[in-house]
Amino acid sequence: MNQDKALLKVLRGECVSPPPIWLMRQAGRYLPEYRKVRATQPDFISFCLNPEAASEVTLQPIRRYGFDASIVFADILLTPMALGQKVWFVKGEGPKLEAVDPTRLNHLSTTGAMDHLAPVGETLSILRRELPSSCTLIGFAGSPWTVATYMVEGGGSKDKWAVRQAAWKDPARFDDLLSLLIEVTADYLIMQANAGAEVLKLFDSWAEGLPDPLFDRVIIGPTRAIIEKVRAAGIEAPIIGFPRGAGPNYVAYAKETGITGLALDHGVSTRWAIEALPRDLPVQGQLDPAVLKVGGAILADEVQRLRAAWKDRPYIFNLGHGITPDVPPEHVDQLMALVRASDH
């Protein structure tokens, strides 16, 4: 591993100027070259599990923009698929799952799960060979609460009504589901690190709106358990955690889970985060994807604000959520120029 890579320096607690940059969902529908490859694939799951196609679209934004990191093209819902749950994607609607009852999990099993996920390891191996030496390779997985939300709700859910009820009503049974997800997620991250991922990331996209006792139980506890399992396997790769929408609970998450770096969404106050989080904690994110869509002077102002705010801290430039399909590719060119410019 090249320890001089900018992103790895930041994750060791160093301040790097200009900051390294990559974007969540940087391989995606905003790029015409991505859409061309996507049109050749029978369905989204097959696309994610096709090492040649997945590695190609992972490399596309690196060729076009020269990001400092490349995140493997995959999806957080590959883990429930690997456990035996039916998962599919509907155009214009997103992911759909055959909803599970947390009290009836006999049809789900970690046995053979890594066989289903092995193509992601193959993709990572290809990427380690093909990526520029300065580019850091990131592997990832969905965190148990977020994946459980999709599994119980049968898809995305703004209020998480069914999964919240399940978590409160029968904690022991719900914890059985979380335990299953902790095991498969840890195994999956270990496999990715062994296949070549230099950094790992946990996405908890549905962390918003949980009262403290539930946040501690379904977000902090499972995250800590996964990281302990990964470390026990001898994996030393930095781990970035992203509990989107956690608000003040970002502090406890950073302190109690064992993460190396913390990704912040665009809704959290920058002023608050700078005061509340440890100065030596590597931080990532915060740019509103809507600002990237708007571009121009507004984008320039926001990049300047974030760079100035975090200039004395270990900081990775990124969005506060994934890039949207309607972003003009030239706006990403503008973003790259702004971030890579000399200090303001």
Active site residues: 25, 29, 38, 75, 150
Name the nearest CA neighbour of 35 among 326, 263, 300.
326
Name the nearest CA neighbour of 339 among 305, 294, 289, 288.
305
Sheet with 239-243, strands from edge to edge, namely 69-71, 136-142, 199-204, 239-243, 261-264, 283-285, 315-316
Give 243's strand partners. Answer: 204
CA distance 319 to 279: 20
Name the nearest CA neighbour of 156 among 217, 89, 209, 111.
89
CA distance 286 to 232: 32
Mention every residue, 6+ apart, whose C-beta is less than 8 A from residue 341: 18
**Is there a cis peptide before residue 18, judged by omega within 30 degrees of 0?**
yes
Give 199's strand partners. Answer: 138
